[in-house]
Chains A and B, each alone.
Chain A
């Protein structure tokens, strides 16, 4: 769910750092998926996979504790939440990886270099942002009405089921040219939702939002 236009992730972070339980919960819920997904990808096939829950929790404990990194970030010392969160997760992950292996388990199989891990995180982050944008687009569509909902459906058919536009037009008994127009509009709506989501996580000027969007899309490609 998107917060109000004046609210950014930093608003929430500052409140969370100041001890607001609601914002702490909100922050945890918002970024839990990213943290877990990154750790899951990082530790795929490794015994450390069993530690994902603990490591995820350790990330948030690290964030919330008195004098912890979130408090530092909340004070406006560290810009760029994505990079900041990545730093925290990476440190926690490495702490787990640095522990001696249990007697029975093989050594963790983790990505070979930090650049790989950074890209891994960027991809995970990008996926989460895209999913949030899709969710926002759905919510907006529910407010706008049937046409907008149909355009979301169109995107689902196109990308979830992999149907070409002409097949979708056939399925809907519609003129392919018209469906193409809907498709263009749906893409525009997605782009708008994406920029709005990015504005929450990565406040900045319009140009900076575009830049961040391009960087996220690059991470996915």
Chain B
């Protein structure tokens, strides 16, 4: 008889033992519910829908810190004096657009009340409903409005035109520095004037820095040079107000473990339209202008961004003034950005060396452009001072040179006059005194000789003194310069070490290593001797953190197709601690305690020691932990771990204090299998919140949500995704995400995950196996088999791969091969319950019911709560006709897993077969509720309902007091006959029904005709209460009837096969295969039975079964 649809349980192995997957979760894909759409509409169109309207009044005003010597100012951008929208509209006349940027447009306007021209910057219409952009826009005005300096364009007013905020500012009539620079034909042209502009920019920025504001987008396009020579810094749209004290204070405080100020790059801002070489401010990307950006800004390293970012900008402007180009030049903006991020200044420095400017000016510019922020001037004031000194020096040198030139000219003129006079006098006297001269010559020669010697000696002594003095002075100057350099160097090393310490505390070994390397380099240049101990300590701590990172990575990386054993992980942990001198196994407790206590990574070390506790010299580790981390709660937990006191662990984990532990300890607790899984999840989540980038934590947390279960599937998926985001190259994370996605029915995404895992580790058998499992679920059997075979090739002892290969082969109809695979899996892993269960399914499919039941029972013995195995043994028992035992099995499955729709459905069928129609209805309804897509359950529910109506009519029909008038009644009564084992009556009812209307007979989906043939064959064999007395003629007629009905069905199945459609072929294969095994047809199928039939009849039946066999072969999967 045709059984209602009864899908086998299909199981597949996952990466780890015990993580086999259940049948795919089913999802109701029904239309959106009416009520829930209301919620969406309310969110879409309701008062609080979409982005909230920007409200200037709701914005917290930006208040700048007071510069030294300034009186207190209270800036109230939203004071009562602010014009209303209408007032603003009346007050300002707008006459045209001057410029346009990414965020706002600058319009030319006129203040009617004050009668002055001004510039009006208005937020672009497209951002009118973007509160984030509006807020930045208004902040720009607020910052600009509070920077009262001749070098900053003054802001007059702020308000709104409708929804759009605006602010007014001075209309500067002039041109930008970018325009001036681009108008030069030679980079050396107009240098003094341009340097004077650069000085004024530096002074304006010095003022802004004193107010705690950094600009972050200094470039020639943002410098306006007025018609009267006034210089003003514009576009404060990227400006950032530093926290009180600014970066330097925080740097100083960093040794006291405070963070440094963080400044970032925004995502939408106004952009200049000037310049070239990638000089436009970019929108939606790294912000600022790459051609003028310091490396820390271009690489998005927000932790390093402070006033020195602007110092770099000033240097970049100087660079363009001196060389005609900004520091970074490239063929594309991407190239410029890359150069900026890498601090690739080689070209700029070469250009500066060749620009012909004074060495002092070049040195100043180069220091501004130093790739390391610590090497630059600390703020714009230092740049302004340097530039001012240089320009003053130039001026002084010019004046001195001029003075010296005038003196030299005067002296030369005087000398000429003197010489002429002297020559005239000499000529006159030569004649008169020739004789006296000749007489005096001898005397004079003697006198002059002596004087000359004395004079010469004096000159020599003076020269020596001067040389000595000069040398001494030069030495002193060199010493001062060297001392200054050493002091700067020491300061830089100290700052770098503080950053390294912060990075180590945050567990960021990569960043710590980079910073420490820089510190070492600087330290070798002198001036940092007092930091040498600090540097050594951090070096050792970095080595330790790297070691522990490597252990964590090892812990989360599968090797030989499985995650490493905890004991091996503990050994590696101990080795790492040993290298750092903190292993109590090799060092004394005192020495180890001193090492741990002095370490910046103390918490990490304590955490490692905790994990070591169960595996190492317990007393020593315990003593060490008591010394370095004395805490009553943690002490109690450690004692419970050592005593293996699970009850105590559960009690301690349940305490509130458990959630307040440091992340490392919370992770340690959350990893304990003794604690209930719910509590472990809570503990691990608390730990993840505090240490979000910890891959081990995330993977442990995701594993707290077991696979194959609906509960927690979303959470599991979420944590797996977080693990991937943390460690995109971790293969185990990809495998776990694949499992989670598979559980959610997102097969394509799961496949992508496994393929990623295979790309990362082509030899990971688990990934190949899991990929095969998903492909099988998608019906791609050939690929699935290939994957499983690959997994087996990589790991021949991988029982799950053998099991999965068996499943795929069974799907292909290769039962014998599938059975061999299951047996192999069981041989490799005798306690593999799912393999036993699957072997049972394959044997049942072959009709070996008793062997199948043995397998199911074995699976249940291994896993008593294995609901599907209980369900399957029920199916086998039902097939054997043992309905009561089957019902007990189904009930057991349902008790274990109330949501198992299949067991409800099967129980319904068993109850129906017993005639318990009402109870069956309840079960079918339950099955439909659990799995609304279960069409078979709906059909059976319909059957049960029909049977309930006809319950009392069967007796009347048998008595002859009731004659069915409709086919519905005839077919319903036939089904009752099946239940009551009245095969002869059933075949008669079917015959009547088909005579009245042939359509039901041809409906292969319900298979009435096949069932009718079964009844006829059974009755012919005298099975059934109403068939025991049938004579030979009637039996022959019934066999002929059965033959004709089967023949008719066979013709229809042949047509189905001819369509070539996979679904039709599969259905035909399943049905015809069932025909061959159906015990109801034994009397017309088994060779022994056929041998007893008359020759002609026997040949007909043999021909029919040969045709069935032929069709089955044709329908076999390739």
Decide if B721 touches A83 in the complex (CB within 8 Å): yes
Top 3 A-B residue pairs of the complex, sorted by shortest distance between their CB atoms? A25-B284, A131-B50, A28-B284
Q: With a CB–CB cut-off of 8 A, which chain B residues contact A14?
A: none
Contact of B685 among A32, A53, A115, A128 (CB under 8 A): A115
Decide if B266 touches A57 in the complex (CB within 8 Å): yes
Known pairs A61-B300, A131-B51, A220-B43; A94 contacts B692 (CB<8 A) = yes
In this assembly, does B689 line the interface, its C-beta being within 8 Å of a C-beta of chain A? Answer: yes
Q: A25-B284, A51-B262, A213-B40 are in contact. List 19 more A-B contacts (CB 8 A).
A: A33-B130, A53-B136, A56-B266, A62-B300, A80-B721, A83-B717, A84-B725, A87-B724, A87-B725, A90-B722, A91-B693, A94-B689, A115-B685, A115-B715, A133-B40, A134-B50, A159-B46, A194-B40, A214-B36
Contact of A207 among B27, B132, B341, B685 (CB under 8 A): B27
Known pairs A77-B724, A77-B728, A114-B689; A131 contacts B267 (CB<8 A) = no
15 A-B pairs with CB atoms under 8 Å apart are A24-B285, A33-B132, A36-B132, A57-B267, A60-B285, A77-B728, A83-B721, A91-B693, A96-B262, A98-B692, A113-B689, A114-B685, A130-B43, A130-B49, A191-B37
A190 and B32 alpha carbons, distance in the complex (Å) = 12
Q: Flag A21-40 by CB within 8 Å of B: 1 or 0 each.
A: 10011111100110011000
Decide if B41 touches A190 in the complex (CB within 8 Å): yes
Q: With a CB–CB cut-off of 8 A, which chain A residues contact B746?
A: 79-80, 208
Contact of A100 among B259, B286, B287, B721 (CB under 8 A): B259
Decide if A90 touches B692 in the complex (CB within 8 Å): yes
Q: With a CB–CB cut-off of 8 A, which chain B residues contact A25?
A: 283-285
Contact of A54 among B43, B135, B244, B262 (CB under 8 A): B262
Decide if B51 touches A33 in the complex (CB within 8 Å): yes
Smallest Cβ-Cβ distance to B750: which chain A residue: A79
- Chain B interface residues toward A at CB < 8 A: 27, 29-33, 36-37, 39-47, 49-51, 130-132, 135-136, 243-244, 257-259, 262-268, 282-287, 299-300, 302, 333-334, 341, 506, 682, 685-686, 688-690, 692-693, 715, 717-718, 721-722, 724-726, 728, 734, 741, 746, 749, 752-753, 756
In this assembly, does A72 line the interface, its C-beta being within 8 Å of a C-beta of chain B? Answer: yes
Decide if A32 touches B693 in the complex (CB within 8 Å): no
Decide if B267 touches A72 in the complex (CB within 8 Å): no
Decide if B284 touches A210 in the complex (CB within 8 Å): no
- Chain A interface residues toward B at CB < 8 A: 19, 21, 24-29, 32-33, 36-37, 51, 53-58, 60-62, 64-66, 69, 72, 76-80, 83-84, 86-88, 90-91, 94-96, 98-100, 102-104, 113-115, 118, 126-128, 130-131, 133-135, 137, 155-156, 158-160, 187, 190-191, 194, 206-208, 210-211, 213-214, 216-218, 220-221
Q: With a CB–CB cut-off of 8 A, which chain B residues contact A88?
A: 725
Chain A nearest CB, measured from B480 CB (Å): 37
Smallest Cβ-Cβ distance to A36: which chain B residue: B132
Decide if B302 touches A207 in the complex (CB within 8 Å): no
Q: With a CB–CB cut-off of 8 A, which chain A residues contact B262?
A: 51, 54, 96, 99
Decide if B43 touches A131 in the complex (CB within 8 Å): yes
Determine which residue in B32, B244, B746, B749 has the highest number of CB atoms from chain A within 10 A of its CB, and name it.
B32
Chain B nearest CB, measured from A187 CB (Å): 6
Decide if B30 touches A210 in the complex (CB within 8 Å): yes
Decide if B724 touches A28 in the complex (CB within 8 Å): no
Decide if B715 touches A56 in the complex (CB within 8 Å): no
- Total cross-chain contacts (CB, 8 A): 214
Decide if B285 touches A28 in the complex (CB within 8 Å): yes
Q: With a CB–CB cut-off of 8 A, which chain A residues contact B721?
A: 78, 80, 83-84, 87
Decide if B49 touches A210 in the complex (CB within 8 Å): no
Known pairs A131-B44, A216-B40, A221-B39; A102 contacts B243 (CB<8 A) = yes
Chain A nearest CB, measured from B131 CB (Å): 8
Q: With a CB–CB cut-off of 8 A, which chain B residues contact A54?
A: 262-264, 302
Q: With a CB–CB cut-off of 8 A, which chain B residues contact A64?
A: 285-286, 300
Chain A nearest CB, measured from B239 CB (Å): 11
Smallest Cβ-Cβ distance to A188: which chain B residue: B37
Chain B nearest CB, measured from A211 CB (Å): 6
Decide if A190 touches B40 in the complex (CB within 8 Å): yes
Chain A nearest CB, measured from B762 CB (Å): 16
Decide if B284 touches A24 in the complex (CB within 8 Å): yes
Q: With a CB–CB cut-off of 8 A, which chain A residues contact B753?
A: 79
Known pairs A24-B285, A210-B29; A78 contacts B41 (CB<8 A) = no
A96 and B725 alpha carbons, distance in the complex (Å) = 17
Known pairs A56-B132, A207-B27; A26 contacts B45 (CB<8 A) = no
Decide if A56 touches B50 in the complex (CB within 8 Å): no
Decide if A58 touches B728 in the complex (CB within 8 Å): no
Chain B nearest CB, measured from A45 CB (Å): 13
Contact of A21 among B284, B287, B728, B749 (CB under 8 A): B284
Decide if B264 touches A27 in the complex (CB within 8 Å): no
Q: With a CB–CB cut-off of 8 A, which chain A residues contact B749?
A: 79-80
Decide if A58 touches B302 in the complex (CB within 8 Å): yes
Decide if B686 touches A113 in the complex (CB within 8 Å): yes
Chain A nearest CB, measured from B968 CB (Å): 34
A113 and B686 alpha carbons, distance in the complex (Å) = 7
Chain B nearest CB, measured from A67 CB (Å): 9
Q: With a CB–CB cut-off of 8 A, which chain B residues contact A19?
A: 334
Q: With a CB–CB cut-off of 8 A, which chain A residues contact B728?
A: 69, 72, 77-78
Chain B nearest CB, measured from A74 CB (Å): 12
Chain A nearest CB, measured from B653 CB (Å): 16
Chain B nearest CB, measured from A155 CB (Å): 5
Smallest Cβ-Cβ distance to B725: which chain A residue: A87
Decide if A159 touches B42 in the complex (CB within 8 Å): yes
A69 and B32 alpha carbons, distance in the complex (Å) = 33
Decide if B725 touches A78 in the complex (CB within 8 Å): yes
Contact of A187 among B37, B302, B334 (CB under 8 A): B37
Known pairs A65-B299, A91-B692, A221-B36; A83 contacts B268 (CB<8 A) = no
Decide if A213 touches B47 in the complex (CB within 8 Å): no
Q: With a CB–CB cut-off of 8 A, which chain A residues contact B51?
A: 33, 37, 131
Q: With a CB–CB cut-off of 8 A, which chain B residues contact A72?
A: 728
Known pairs A221-B36, A221-B39; A57 contacts B264 (CB<8 A) = yes
Decide if B284 touches A158 in the complex (CB within 8 Å): no
A206 and B32 alpha carbons, distance in the complex (Å) = 12
A80 and B750 alpha carbons, distance in the complex (Å) = 11
